[in-house]
Structures are given as structure tokens and as C-alpha cells.
Chain A
Amino acid sequence: MRRELSMFAALVLMCIALTISNPDFAGHSNAINTIRQISMLGIYAIGSGFVIVTGGIDLSVGSMVGLTGVIIAKISSQAQGGMGLSLGLGIVVALAVVLLIGLGQGLLITRLKLQPFIVTLGGMLLIRGVSQTIVQGGTLSMGSSPLLKLANEGLFNVGGDPLLPYPAMIFLGVIALATYLLHFTVFGRYVYAIGGNRDAAQYSGINVNRVETSTYVISAGLAGVAGICYAAYIGQMSQQVGVAYELYAIAAVVLGGCSLRGGEGTVLGIVIGSAMMRVIDNGINMFQLRYNDPDGVPRLWRLNPNWTFIIVGAVILIAVILDQVVHIVQSARHVRHGAGPTQLASGGPPPAGAPPLEPRPAAPETARSP
């Protein structure tokens, strides 16, 4: 929880600083939009988190987010290029397709023992190409689909904006479900065991293949759910929707304290990591400093939006560097204080103590040196 706590503290500090620099940051229009963005990222980042905790990686998430929207637009859009069928059908087909892709990738990884990186890299390109083919290189409008309400409406309207947009509600549902799955079920225990020591999991009789495949299905499914939200939010589907989202997801997961080696991390951490990513994104737009120019005219200094990736990249690096430094310092301190803990109740080699159950046999003859 150390990582989660410190990231949460950093997040709160960042929000306070941004609010002081620009009160609009906490204004309900910006705040609600940021919450919507956090939610949509968080939904598929949690999916990626399942895969990463097993020690795998899913690079196809962004492409699946895009494909979901493209399929929905193709099937249910009344606008040009759409088939004009029902929205429900579009959503069902889109989710079924991405779940199947997730299943396929999972099976390739677990049955054929292919590396997750390669399989999902191939999947990422292939799915992107399918999206591109469906939209024929252009855009597909959602038209005036009722789906658009999903992103823009919600509960508790205040001055035209919903305090709780639907994506945030979906996100809360996903958080609850994922927390239960990962932290309170046997399945979750297996996910961690696989990430911690795959052989141990295998030899404990766990159906490693099935559990691992499930994580890719979960990742795909949540990418699909996020894809529905993005389709609703953007309204215009092109091949560009979802490009590089998988990297945002991985960044959020790592910021939230997961290790790419697997076996570590929490849903709460991923949520905080997602919030961090989006607040930074938003903060780059919102941050401003008031100053007076040499003529005494008050002016605003803003961050150059071209620095976005520099700042996001730097934040990720600083976070992992700090974490590692803390880790090194702690383990050094551990070595210094607790050298050789005595863990056996009856410890001690030969003369020190007898085993608890029956008398120790006479020390065997070993001195066979010439």
C-alpha cells in the first residue's frame, strides 16, 4: 500500500496546486470532464492490470477500444456508411468480437506458449487494420445515436452538467467488480500466484492456462466497455480512435504500483494511476502562473502544450525512480538491522538445540578426510 498511498498523496497535492493556480480546474465543467476522462482510461487500465499482474502484457487494448466504436458505428449508425440496425445489436456484436479476440490472444499465449508481447503486438496491428478497413480510411459518424447520451449525461445534474456522468458510474461498477475478483476471490489469488511464480502455480494444481487466458478476455472485455464510452464521447469513429491507449493503460498501471514482472499491484493503485495520468494531461492545459511583465501588465504564463509527452514521460520515470530508490534504501536498512532472522521454533544446528519431536540422532560420522 506504500506505493498507493504516496501516489495518492502526490495526486492530492497536484490537484491542490492546480486549483490554486487556476480555480477553473476545480470548476464543475472541467472537473466533470476530467472525471469522465479518468473513468474511461481507468476502465481499460484495470483490464490491462489483470494481465500485468500475471506477468503478461496486452498491447492490443487501444486497438480494441477503437474497433468497438467502429463496429458499433458501422452496425447501428443511421448516418452515411452505417447499416442503420439497432444500437443494442451493435453493442452486443462489438463486445462479442473483442471478447473473442481476447480469448484468441489468450489461447495463443497460453496454449502455443507464444510471448504476450508478440501476440498482442500482432493483435494491435491487425485489429487496427480491421478498423481502418471498416471505416475505409475515413470516419464513420455515430449520427444522432442515443448512445451519445452515455458520455454526456449522467445522474445529479447541476447547471446542465451531470455530477456523475455515466462513464464514471460504469467505472465505479468496474472498480467494485475488479476489486472483488482480484482481491477477494480464489481467481484473484491465482492471478497473483501466476505472476509471483508461474511454476509454483502450475505445480499447485492451478489451471494456469485457463486463469491466464481469462485475464486476456477480461482485458479485452473492459477495452470493449471503454470503447463504448469513447464511441459515445467522440461520436465520430475513425481509425485513429484509441491509438496508443494501451501505453496510457500500462503507464497508469505502473504508476499505480504494479510491476511489469507480475505479482504486484492493486485495483486501487490502478485507479489512482489512471487519475494521475488524466490529471497531468488536464493540468498541462490548466496550469497557469500570474506575473507582471516588465511594463507592469499582469499576464499569464502557461505550459506549452507541446510539452505534454515530455511531462507525462518525466512523471512516469520520476515515479519509478523514486520507488526504486526508496526500495533500495529500505532493503539496505533491512540488511543492517535484521541479519539472519531465526524463524524455526527449534532452531540451531548441532550443539544449539534438539529438534522438538524426538531426540536427535548421534551426529553422523563425517570426517572422512585423509
Chain B
Amino acid sequence: MPETVLDRPPLLQMRGIVKRFPGVTALDGVSLHLAPGEVLALMGENGAGKSTLMKILGGAYQPDEGEILIDGKRVVLDGVSEAKRLGIALIHQELMLAPNLDIAANIFLGNERAATLLAPLHRRELNRRALALLARTGLKLPPTTPVSTLTAGTMQMVEVAKALSLDARIIIMDEPTSSLTAGESEHLFAIIRQLKAEGIGIVYISHRMEEVLTLADRITVLRDGRYVGDIARADATTDAIVAMMVGRELKGQYFPPKSPAGVDAPAPAAQPPAAAAPDTGTAADPILKVEDLKVPGAPAGVSFSAARGEILGFAGLVGSGRTELMETIFGVTPAESGKMILDGKPYLPRAPRDAIERGVYLAPEDRKRHGLVLPMTIAENTSLASVGSYNRWGWLDRKTEKRVADAEVARLRTRTPSIRQKVVNLSGGNQQKVVLGKWLAMSPKVLILDEPTRGIDVGAKAEIYRHMAELAEQGIAIIMVSSDMEEIIGMSDRVVVMHERRIKGVLARRELTQQRIARLMTGHTDERGKGDAAA
């Protein structure tokens, strides 16, 4: 962006921003600038200070030092409403919508343009304006639709409409695609390009490299609360960015190499694709066999199997029924019919404790809600699922608890000062390691990981992948639900693709291409052979 250098001041400049929290300096002299119509990607590992910086820009935090200039004029963002007044809109990672209100109410929340709080609300007028904004975001829904009925992608669009309603000149998006499907993401990108054409400056925070490389004009990298550098899109490569983010070259593969002893054994690989096709539904050495299992609310039963030492990927759109299926396998919502065989014996869990007893564990999608007790320590979380076995004469055996937690922290290289650290204070990647540690301490047979790396930064992701590969090598069957295509393709031995709560197809490792998975995900039948030719 050479024009940012001279005469016209940039749309936004942040200079020397310092923000201290008790005990930590979250930001230490960070600067960034943004031109109109520019998409600036802000990257950095979790804890690098991206969110803090953006909260300062959004008026939610006040910086301790440094200045912010808009159009070259110094501004003080002493509150969310002041930031909004200046045309700064922040779209949070956790969507900030009130589910009990309708779309129009959410779009104009805090921006009703009423003289006083007690002034009447002009619903018809707001609905009319909402309709126009929704059209700009490509949503065809009545503005009176309650937000609680929307999908994550639609909610994201409502957030965009909300930003547009402020006549925002700067829109900050914090990991906007983390819960979107591929199609929804594409839609969002199209909207972003349109906003760009309208001269709106966009700060885009994401961990997804491919997104950043296609969308951003420029990338600013932060590390440990410090500004590391800028890199123009033309010069940007994944390796260069990752190196800047982690401060060292990430050696070797992002995804760990798969041992050939895996499930995608040489035997089927040697066969022609057409002959291998019918066999891909069943694993060679199944530890878990699912037969015609009917999940409550699903239209029909599903069948598949998972083998010892296999990483079985589950691809599909959000709402395709993957999470629900996993919850049934884990006993959260018992099956309506069908059967499962675990280790040669029938397995029909009525509650998670039945599953845990048999060695089937689930690391849920929303780890903060279902996977961890945030205000408890690492040690307490690690022992939580098996706390009965830490019983000594009725007392909780804290010594063993400590030993086990220490061992898991060491094994997974969880970054923490101590196992007495509260989980809420850990970064996303380390929290996920605590979830893994909890189950690993109990020697799993089948480990179900639902979106194992959502919201986790690159460095920690690679570590999680390495651990997954190691666990698989130890003979654990890993079922991985993921919406991250790279992850699905990079990690899975086989991939089950779901669409509208049915299994649409099972692809072997060598058949994995983004196109084939995407076709199945969207309900198209797989064209075997074609995909192979492309791959």
C-alpha cells in the first residue's frame, strides 16, 4: 500500500499502544495502520495480543500508552459507543447477538436513533432499514426472524449488517469463519470484497492461512504483545508468516507423517479404485462398529466402523449431524435404534459414564462449555472424569491427582506455570491439551475429538496434530470431527462425509481431495474416478 506513505493520512493509525493487565503486559508498543479499502490481516498466536488490540480499537479497553489516529486526527476511544460513533465496528469471535431478539432488533441494538431511552421504538422503520442492509449481505430473511433460529453463518451476516448499519468505515472481524461452513465462508469473503470496494478498511483476524493469503492486502504479525512486522500479500507465504508468528522456522511438515502401518493399508491401495470403493465403509481391524445407529431426530440410521490406530475424519457442513452422532456414541443422547460393537462386545451407552467405563471418550466441540470446568485447576480438570478412582479412604487422593496431572502436562507439553493453574487462564491450545490429558489419563480405546483445533493457533495446532498421530500409533482409534478441510485431508486415514444427518460417502486416504469431499458435503453423489484423476 504505497499510498499510505504520503499526503493522505491513513484511515487508521495506532501508534505505540501499550496495555497492561495485572501481572502481564498484553501489548507493548504495538503499531498498525490501515488504508481505506484495504484488508489488513492481523496474525499472531493466541495470546499474541490481537484481541486486546482490537478491543482497544473497538473502545472496550483503554490503552495505557500510545495514540490512535483516524484520518490523521487523534481520537480517544473511551467507550464502545464512541468507537462506533467514529465508524469502528467490531465483530467478535463469539457472536454478540441477543438470541431472544429478532434480526432487526439485533442489527440496530444500541443504535436505534431514538432521542431518549424512553422514546418509542419505530419498529416498522427499523425493519425497513434492516431489509436493505440484509440485502447488502445477501441474506433473504425477514428482519423479524428470531436470531435463535439462525445458523452460525447467518448470524455472522447479521453481524456484518450490524456493522454496516453504523456506516462503519473500519470493520474488525475476529476469526469470522471459525464456525462457518466452506460455503458460508465464501459468501463472507464475497461480502468482504464488496466492502473493500466501497472503501471500508477491514482488519481481519484469522488463524486460517489460506483465507488470509487469498483475502488480505497486507499482513501485520504480532508476537507476545509486540509488533513483529508487516508483509505484503505478494511476498507472503505460509512459511514466512508462520516463522514471524512463532519467531522460529517451523521445521518440517505441519501435519505429522502417517505411518504406513495405518489403516489405509497397502492392500486396498493396490487395488483399482472401483474395487476398493465398497470396502471403504468398514475398517480392516474395527474396534468400534456402528450399525444402522439412529440418532434421535435423524432421518435414518448410519453405519461405519473405526479401526485401532486409525484417525477417522468426519467432514460435513455445520448441522450435518456429526456432533449429534458423536454425542450418541458418547451416550449424551442415547440412540433410538441400531447397535454398536466395541472391542467385540455390544456397546449401547445410555449416558456418558457408560461410554467412559468402556473407554470411549469425547473432547467436545465447545471445550469451554462441555469439556472443561474453567474455574478449576488443571489437576482438578484432569481427574474430573475419573475422580472416583482417586478415592483413598473417602479422601480425594491429591498426591496421585498431582502425579497424573503432572505426567499429562509433561506428555502434552502444556504450557503452564503449574498444574494448580486455573484452566480459564490458559490459551485455547493449552486448554485443548488439558481436555486431551483428561482422557489420556484414562487410557482410551476410542477418542472422539470434535473440532480439536478450533480457535487454536498454528504452533499449538501442529502440536495437537503430532499428539493425535502419536496416540493413533499407540492403537487408539481417533474419530475427528472437523470443519477445517486442510485438517481433514492432512490428518485422516479415512474420511466419512455427512450430509443432512446421513453418511454420504466414505473416502480412503488416497481419494481425499477438497473437491470430492466438498461434493459429498453438499449432498452431491461422489463421482469416483474423476476425483482420483484430479488427485
Interface locus among B149-157, B392-400, B411-419: B149-157
Task: Decide yes or no: A350 and B518 within 8 Å by CB, A186-B119, A196-B98, A197-B96 being known contacts.
Answer: yes
What residue in chain A is nearest B215 (Cβ atoms)?
A361
Q: Does A2 contact B (CB under 8 A)?
A: no
List residues of chain A with CB within 8 A of the CB of B116.
Answer: 186
Question: How would you classify the secondary structure of chain A's contact residues: helix, strand, loop or mixed?
Answer: loop
A367 near B101: Cβ-Cβ < 8 Å: no
| Contact among A264, A339, A358, A367 for B193, CB-based, below 8 A | A358
A350 near B109: Cβ-Cβ < 8 Å: no
A-B pairs under 8 A by CB, number: 201
List residues of chain A with CB within 8 A of the CB of B184.
Answer: 344, 347
B117 near A345: Cβ-Cβ < 8 Å: no
Q: Does B443 contact A (CB under 8 A)?
A: no
Task: Decide yes or no: A192 and B98 within 8 Å by CB, A205-B111, A367-B512, A369-B490 being known contacts.
Answer: yes
Alpha-carbon distance between A187 and B254 when the two chains are bound, in angstroms: 52
A364 near B214: Cβ-Cβ < 8 Å: yes
Alpha-carbon distance between A344 and B135 when the two chains are bound, in angstroms: 11
Q: Does B118 contact A (CB under 8 A)?
A: yes
Interface locus among B138-146, B226-234, B284-292, B425-433: B138-146
What residue in chain B is nearest A193 (Cβ atoms)?
B98
List residues of chain B with CB within 8 A of the CB of A364.
Answer: 210, 213-214
Closest Cβ of chain A: how far from B503's Cβ, in Å?
A: 14
Which of A180, A341, A363 is packed against the most chain B CB atoms within 10 Å?
A: A363
Closest Cβ of chain B: how far from A49's Cβ, in Å?
A: 15
B97 near A197: Cβ-Cβ < 8 Å: yes
| Contact among A192, A335, A356 for B190, CB-based, below 8 A | A356
Alpha-carbon distance between A145 and B317 when the two chains are bound, in angstroms: 72
B120 near A203: Cβ-Cβ < 8 Å: no
Q: How many residues of A contact B (CB 8 A)?
A: 56
List residues of chain B with CB within 8 A of the CB of A368.
Answer: 254-255, 486, 489-490
A343 near B154: Cβ-Cβ < 8 Å: yes
List residues of chain B with CB within 8 A of the CB of A192.
Answer: 98, 100-101, 105
| Contact among A185, A199, A350 for B120, CB-based, below 8 A | A185
A366 near B210: Cβ-Cβ < 8 Å: yes
Contact with B along A342-354 (1 / 0, CB 8 A): 0111111111110
Task: Decide yes or no: A366 and B96 within 8 Å by CB, A184-B120, A351-B518, A351-B524 being known contacts.
Answer: no
Q: Does A200 contact B (CB under 8 A)?
A: yes
B485 near A366: Cβ-Cβ < 8 Å: yes
B299 near A350: Cβ-Cβ < 8 Å: no
Which of A193, A361, A369 is packed against the most chain B CB atoms within 10 Å?
A: A369
B214 near A190: Cβ-Cβ < 8 Å: no
Q: Does A357 contact B (CB under 8 A)?
A: yes
A205 near B84: Cβ-Cβ < 8 Å: yes
Q: Does B269 contact A (CB under 8 A)?
A: no
List residues of chain A with CB within 8 A of the CB of B141.
Answer: 343
List residues of chain A with CB within 8 A of the CB of B120.
Answer: 180, 184-185
What residue in chain A is nearest B194 (Cβ atoms)?
A357
List residues of chain A with CB within 8 A of the CB of B253.
Answer: 370
What residue in chain A is nearest B485 (Cβ atoms)?
A366
Alpha-carbon distance between A341 and B110 when the two chains are bound, in angstroms: 29
A193 near B105: Cβ-Cβ < 8 Å: yes
B183 near A206: Cβ-Cβ < 8 Å: no
Alpha-carbon distance between A360 and B509 when the two chains are bound, in angstroms: 27
Task: Decide yes or no: A200 and B486 within 8 Å by CB, A347-B187, A351-B515, A360-B186 being known contacts.
Answer: no
List residues of chain A with CB within 8 A of the CB of B489.
Answer: 366-369
Alpha-carbon distance between A193 and B108 when the two chains are bound, in angstroms: 11
List residues of chain A with CB within 8 A of the CB of B512.
Answer: 367, 369
List residues of chain A with CB within 8 A of the CB of B139.
Answer: 343-345
List residues of chain A with CB within 8 A of the CB of B529.
Answer: none
Contact with A along B445-486 (1 / 0, CB 8 A): 000000000000000000000000000000000000000011
Q: Does A306 contact B (CB under 8 A)?
A: no
A205 near B96: Cβ-Cβ < 8 Å: no
Alpha-carbon distance between A348 and B185 when the two chains are bound, in angstroms: 10
Alpha-carbon distance between A352 and B515 when the two chains are bound, in angstroms: 11
Closest Cβ of chain A: how far from B447's Cβ, in Å?
A: 21
B154 near A344: Cβ-Cβ < 8 Å: yes
A203 near B191: Cβ-Cβ < 8 Å: no
B319 near A340: Cβ-Cβ < 8 Å: yes
Closest Cβ of chain B: how far from A243's Cβ, in Å?
A: 33
B368-401 interface (Cβ within 8 A of A): none
A350 near B105: Cβ-Cβ < 8 Å: no
| Contact among B58, B84, B112, B150 for A189, CB-based, below 8 A | B112
Task: Decide yes or no: A197 and B193 within 8 Å by CB, A204-B80, A332-B296 being known contacts.
Answer: no
A204 near B187: Cβ-Cβ < 8 Å: no
List residues of chain A with CB within 8 A of the CB of B80.
Answer: 202-205
Q: Does A66 contact B (CB under 8 A)?
A: no
List residues of chain A with CB within 8 A of the CB of B491.
Answer: 369
Task: Decide yes or no: A355 and B99 within 8 Å by CB, A185-B118, A205-B111, A369-B490 being known contacts.
Answer: no
Alpha-carbon distance between A355 and B138 when the two chains are bound, in angstroms: 9
Q: Does A96 contact B (CB under 8 A)?
A: no
Closest Cβ of chain A: how far from B161's Cβ, in Å?
A: 13
Contact with A along B485-525 (1 / 0, CB 8 A): 11001110000000011000000010011110011011010
19 residue pairs bridging A and B, Cβ less than 8 Å apart: A186-B118, A189-B101, A192-B100, A201-B109, A201-B110, A205-B110, A211-B117, A263-B99, A263-B100, A335-B296, A343-B141, A343-B154, A344-B154, A344-B187, A347-B187, A349-B317, A366-B485, A368-B486, A368-B490
Given contacts A335-B296, A339-B319, 10 further A-B contacts (CB under 8 A): A190-B109, A192-B105, A197-B99, A204-B110, A204-B111, A343-B139, A346-B187, A349-B522, A351-B524, A366-B489
B→A interface (CB under 8 Å)? 58, 60, 79-81, 84, 90, 92, 94, 96-101, 105-106, 109-112, 114, 116-121, 138-141, 149-151, 153-154, 157, 162, 181-184, 186-187, 189-191, 193-194, 210, 213-214, 253-255, 257-258, 296-297, 299, 317, 319-321, 485-486, 489-491, 500-501, 509, 512-515, 518-519, 521-522, 524, 535
| Shortest 3 CB-CB contacts between residues of A and residues of B | A355-B190, A196-B98, A204-B110
